[in-house]
Amino acid sequence: MSESNENKFSPELLSFINEWKDKPGNLIMVLHKVQEEQDYISREAADQVAALLDVPLATIWGVVSFYHFFKLTKPGKHNIQICMGTACYLKGAQPLIDELAKQLAIEVNEVTDDGLFSLEAVRCVGCCGLAPVLTVGGEVFGKVTKDQIAGIIAKYK
């Protein structure tokens, strides 16, 4: 599949953009929708949004690069997020990151060669009672220990 095809907007996305086109302050909402569909904001997607909303690409890039939530590169099929909120940090989130990095042989913000996993350190996910917490896709794992890591990875292989 060529790059341009991969980043083509679906009819639903186009109609969402059309619906929001004239609302003030629409850019972030539109970018959320794009990322929801495509998992990240590619340069091609940003170009399309610029054309559809009639705003300069520089403005869009300024917004996308400002906010942590927007990703500029394609994440793995299963994005593993380790909570780095204070409670999780104190209860050993860093050793979990080290262990994941070791087992997946990637660093934080990288994707495995097979495109299956990516690793991300995120802000507080608000499950502090379950610290330390990591999430895979939408699934939350609480009170995680280092020796559970291999099992969690295996579950998604």
Partner 1 sequence: MAFRNYILVCGGTACESSRADQIYQNLIKECKDQGVADEVQVIKTGCFGFCEQGPIVKVLPEDSFYVKVSPKDAHEIIAEHIIKGREVTRLLYDKSESRKHAKVEDIQFYQKQFRIVLRNCGFIDPENIDEYIAREGYEALEKALFEMTGDDIIEELKTAGLRGRGGAGFPTWMKWNFTKQAENDVKYVVCNADEGDPGAYMDRSTLEGDPHSVLEAMTICGKAIGAQKGYIYIRAEYPLAINRLEIAMAQAREYGLLGKNILGSGFDFDIEIRLGAGAFVCGEETALLQSIEGHRGMPQPRPPFPAVKGLWGKPTVINNVETWANIPVIISKGGNWFSKIGTADSKGTKVFALTGKIRNSGLVEVPMGTTLREIVFDIGGGIANGRKFKAVQTGGPSGGVITDADLDTPIDFGSLVRIGSMMGSGGMIVMDEDDCIVDVAKFYLNFTVDESCGKCAPCRIGGRSLCNILEKITLGNGVPEDLEAMATIGKAMRVGSLCALGQTAPNPILSSMKFFGEEYRAHIEDKSCPSGTCKNLVTYSILADKCIGCTACARKCPVGAITGEKKQLHIIDQNTCIKCGVCLETCKFGAVVVQ
List residues binding partner 1 (CB under 8 A): 24-29, 31-32, 62-63, 66-70, 84-87, 89-91, 122-131, 133, 138-142
Reduce the DSSP state of residue 58 to 3 states and report it: helix
Rounded distance between C-alpha atoms, residue 80 and residue 76, angstroms: 9
Find the shortest distance in angstroms from Cβ 142 to partner 1. Answer: 6
- How many residues are given for the chain? 157
Nearer to partner 1, 4 or 102 (CB): 102
Nearer to partner 1, 8 or 61 (CB): 61
Nearer to partner 1, 68 or 157 (CB): 68
Q: Cis link prior to 132 (omega < 30° from 0)?
A: yes
Find the shortest distance in angstroms from Cβ 38 to partner 1. Answer: 15
Q: Are 80 and 133 in contact (CB under 8 A)?
A: no
